[in-house]
Amino acid sequence: MKNQEIVLTGDRPSGPLHLGHYVGSLKNRVILQDQYTQYVMIADVQALTDNFENPQKVSDNVIEVALDYLAVGIDPTKTTIFIQSMIPEIAELTIFYLNLVTVNRLMRNPTIKTEIKMRGFEESIPAGFLMYPVSQAADITIVKGTIIPVGEDQIPVIEQTNEIIRTFNRIYQTNVLVEAKPMLSKVARLVGLDGQDKMSKSLGNAIFLGDSEDVLKKRVMSMYTDSNHLRVQDPGKVEGNVVFTYLDVFDTNVEKLSELKAHYQRGGLGDVVLKNYLFEILNELLTPIREKRKILAQDRSEIMKILLKGTAQVKVIAEKTMNEVRTSLRLNY
């Protein structure tokens, strides 16, 4: 028997998914799908809010992201995977929610504030981008999601969703909308290869789930270690050393890892040896994912079929929710 709560989550298809997504959310979804009714949305409409000049990129990545989902073990018989733009009810619901939100409140949303800065939108913010939290409230409520697995950076968006839900239920004197709780990943965000920021495609510091063995090796070899560790015999730093940060996450041999750390700190352990050790661990993790992805990618029409099937299931639920919403809004003519 599955838990009654409904899990809704998703990703913007602005690129293929990487190791940071794997530890932060994908791995968790594979577990959650056995415990909950889980919906995973490919947020192409949201991806267009900051990629409106690159529609082909967004469209192409819908399949790439779906391949990543399936390759890591998100099972379409357990998880409903769907395409946001194919549920126009989400857009419709967004319009009604926009009445319940002020521009000032959106500008004060910490998630939006940071993202506006990151994209250099300060001078002129596209209205669609500014209001994406409202659209995200519609994503969540259209299936009445109650558990929303997200990264820490998305918490203000869930808070704003709940404000909208409460305002809607109060003004229209209804209880059709159900509040949602964020579910935080236990693993903190994975740092990028450069050690500067979190792993992200746009920063070019990522390891993608579909990377070949050669590319994986190159990326591991490019990892930041300790800029003062010039000769093998020199003592090296573990703190802030990306290779050790990754080993902390991926190496299950705790004893060996603490030995390696001690060896590195006292000197005599070279970066290449250390990186080769990490490469072996990551390659063991990624090889089955990479191979499954490659096989799945041979028949993209089959992937689209899976997405259309999931979308059709959500469509039924979305229509039902919209009927209730329209009734609450006295729009049931």
Write out the residues near ligand TRP by the rule CB under 6 A: 8-12, 41, 43, 46, 136, 139-140, 148, 150, 154
Of 68 and 226, which has the nearer Cβ to ligand TRP? 68
Q: Which residue is nearest to ligand TRP (CB)?
A: 43
Of 79 and 136, which has the nearer Cβ to ligand TRP? 136
Question: Are 14 and 47 a contacting pair, CB within 8 Å?
Answer: yes
CB atoms within 10 A of CB 154: 17
**Closest approach of ligand TRP to the CB of residue 253, in Å:** 32
What CA–CA distances, in Å, run from 120 to 11, 115, 123, 126, 279? 22, 9, 8, 11, 36
Of 13 and 236, which has the nearer Cβ to ligand TRP? 13
Q: What are the phi and psi torsion angles at 39 (to 5°)?
A: -115, 130
**Closest approach of ligand TRP to the CB of residue 246, in Å:** 22
**Closest approach of ligand TRP to the CB of residue 46, in Å:** 5
Of 140 and 206, which has the nearer Cβ to ligand TRP? 140
Of 150 and 191, which has the nearer Cβ to ligand TRP? 150
Query: Per residue, what are the HEC states of 243-306?
Result: HHHHHHHHCCCHHHHHHHHHHHHHCCCCHHHHHHHHHHHHHHHHHHHHHHHHHHHCCHHHHHHH
Of 90 and 193, which has the nearer Cβ to ligand TRP? 90
Please work out, in degrees rounded to the nearest 5, the angle formed at the alpha carbon of residue 98 by the alpha carbons of 92 and 101: 155
**Closest approach of ligand TRP to the CB of residue 230, in Å:** 39
- Cα 314 from chain centre: 20
**Closest approach of ligand TRP to the CB of residue 69, in Å:** 14
**Closest approach of ligand TRP to the CB of residue 232, in Å:** 41
